[in-house]
Amino acid sequence: MAQVIQIPLQVRFGDIDAYGHVNNVTYLQYLEDARVQLIHTPLGASAAPGTSAETSFNDLIDDDHFVLVGRNEIEYLAPISFRPQPVYVNIWITRIGGSSFEFGYTVTEKDGSTIYAQAASSMVLASRTTGRPIRLGDAQRHALETWQGNDVPFRRRPAQAAVAATEGAL
């Protein structure tokens, strides 16, 4: 697998629901927090030739464009209770398309001994003017490729199985 970035996130008391564990919606906030931290971090060695190492992925997106979330998928594997230690979001790229890319995530202990959730987010680069997808540029693609790794090993993919069954019936 390529470079996986591990981002610590503090469990906040307000993240805990009536059942005494982190609410399911909060996991999506953890993924967003990790994603935002990653895209604002200097690229360093992930920068394309001719691009400053201090440039972030966000810097590679001009003011006329923005990145939208097209889809989230999450699989909850174990509950997180309130604790003073952070949880860790491991984040990487699983797929790069013409105007889209997909983040893969695991929410874990630092050493990976417990995986609390695994997830994927499909992102689309779009025009602020038209709202239509825009092709990824070479520098953007280069940064994403350095973070590219394996697909998220979801345990069940019922939506994909349903689509395959429907296509087979047609």
Task: Please report the pLDDT score of residue 46 as a whole number.
Answer: 81
Query: Given a cut of 70, is residue 170 above it in pLDDT?
Result: no
Q: Which domain holds residue 132?
A: 5-169
Q: What pLDDT is recorded for position 93?
A: 97
The answer to whether the beta carbons of residues 34 and 7 sit under 8 Å apart is: yes
User: In this predicted model, what pLDDT tens digit does every residue of 43-101 receive, in sequence order?
Assistant: 988 888 899 999 999 999 999 999 999 999 999 999 999 999 999 999 999 999 999 99
Reading the block at residue 158, the tokens are 């019922």
Q: Into how many domains does the chain fold?
A: 1
Q: How far apart are CA 51 and CA 60, in angstroms?
A: 9
Q: Which domain CATH number covers 92?
A: 3.10.129.10
Q: According to the model, what pLDDT value does residue 159 have?
A: 59
